């Protein structure tokens, strides 16, 4: 199964004084997704931003808005995030009472559904939802903050999920989020992920164009290796 590489720059690491410009730069550099981290101060210790920011940036961006909800009881807000411009909505397995119902609600709102697991959650817990979900997000740091170090055990977790998806013939994408720079990207792509989130390594010093390029180079190398 061909798994096309998708880069999802996370605006959590952007310079909010010039957010519109930086999003335009991400788009011009060729990244297809924009990762948008919503934190409620309850499910995770930090608070980020919510609907008004998404509604505003939606006016000037054609990117796929990949909204990562780090919030408790996410089903409450599915419709609102869909309305303000999310294209995909990812929620945490750990935060939902009935994860299947959240996936259904996201689909009813006409959006792609993602389900995420934290580093300490056993991977098998997400298996029952992989058929219905469009994407599974494997957190490679404790959610809540950008700029953390990638947890090496994440590669084995991705492999287990990749095996399960391929064995069952599902089309679920595998996204990885937290501490991924272009060097780590090679490892996680090899392990079977195909959607890469990156905050700090993309927005670092504002060199968005060259930083994006580094990720595409890394992905090309993995592709060449897989072919040979």
Q: Name the burial class of residue 121, with classes exposed (0-12), middle (13-18) and buried (19+) by CB atoms within 10 angstroms of its CB.
A: middle
Instruction: Please choose, from the candidates 175, 172, 182, 135, the residue with its C-alpha nearest in 3D space to the C-alpha of residue 154.
Output: 175
Q: How far is the CB of 184 from ligand DX5 (least distance, A)?
A: 9
Specify whether 156 is catalytic. no
Q: Can you read off the two tokens belonging to residue 136?
A: 């599974």
Task: Give yes or no for residue 68 binding ligand DX5 (CB under 6 A).
Answer: yes
Name the one range near Zn ion by CB under 5 A: 1-9, 37-45, 108-116, 122-130: 37-45
What's the rounded Cα separation, in Å, for the pair 213 and 105?
36
Helices (H) then strands (E): counts for the chain: 8, 8
User: Does the protein bind ligand DX5 through residue 200 (CB under 6 A)?
Assistant: yes
| Residue from 74, 99, 114, 144 binding ligand DX5 (CB under 6 A) | 144
Question: Looking at 40, 66, 134, 177, which residue is catalytic?
Answer: 177
Q: Any catalytic annotation for residue 73? A: no
Q: Is 175 in the site for Zn ion (CB under 5 A)?
A: no
The number of angstroms, rounded, from the C-alpha of 192 to the middle of its chain's C-alpha atoms is 15
Considering the candidates 37, 66, 134, 181, report the single residue annotated as catalytic. 37
Q: Quick one: which segment of 52-60, 68-76, 80-88, 208-216 binds Zn ion (CB under 5 A)?
A: 68-76
Question: Distance from CA of residue 160 to its chain's centroid?
Answer: 18
Task: For residue 128, give Cα distances in angstroms to 29, 56, 92.
Answer: 37, 36, 14
Query: Nearest residue to ligand DX5, using CB?
Result: 199
Interaction between residue 177 and Zn ion (CB under 5 A): yes
The rounded distance, in Å, linking the Cα atoms of 139 and 199 is 13
Site membership for ligand DX5, residue 199 (CB under 6 A):
yes
Site string (151-190) toward ligand DX5, x via CB under 6 A: --------------------------xxxx----------
Do 139 and 105 contact (CB within 8 A), yes or no?
A: no
Contacts of 121 (CB under 8 A, 6+ apart): 93, 94
Q: Does 68 bind Zn ion (CB under 5 A)?
A: yes
Q: Which residues bind Zn ion (CB under 5 A)?
A: 37, 68, 177
Residues that bind ligand DX5 (CB under 6 A): 10, 12-13, 35, 37, 68, 141, 143-148, 177-180, 197-201
Residues annotated catalytic, as ranges = 37, 177
């Amino acid at each position: 199964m061909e798994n096309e590489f998708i880069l999802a720059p996370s605006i959590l690491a952007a310079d909010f004084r010039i957010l519109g410009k930086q999003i335009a730069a991400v788009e011009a550099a060729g990244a297809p997704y924009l990762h948008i981290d919503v934190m409620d101060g309850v499910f995770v210790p930090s608070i980020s931003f919510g609907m008004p920011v998404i509604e505003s940036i939606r006016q000037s961006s054609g990117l796929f808005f990949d909204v990562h909800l780090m919030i408790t009881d996410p089903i409450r807000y599915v419709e609102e995030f869909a309305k303000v411009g999310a294209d995909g909505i990812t929620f945490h397995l750990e935060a939902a009472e009935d994860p299947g119902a959240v996936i259904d609600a996201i689909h009813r709102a006409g959006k792609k559904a993602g389900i995420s697991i934290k580093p300490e959650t056993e991977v098998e817990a997400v298996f029952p939802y992989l058929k219905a979900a469009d994407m599974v997000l494997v957190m490679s740091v404790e959610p809540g903050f950008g700029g953390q170090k990638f947890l090496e055990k994440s590669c084995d977790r991705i492999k287990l999920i990749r095996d399960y998806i391929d064995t069952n013939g599902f089309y679920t994408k595998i996204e990885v989020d937290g501490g991924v720079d272009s060097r780590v990207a090679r490892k996680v792509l090899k392990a079977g992920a195909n959607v890469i989130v990156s905050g700090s390594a993309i927005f670092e010093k504002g060199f968005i164009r060259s930083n994006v390029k580094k990720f595409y180079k890394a992905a090309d190398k993995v592709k060449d290796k897989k072919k040979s």
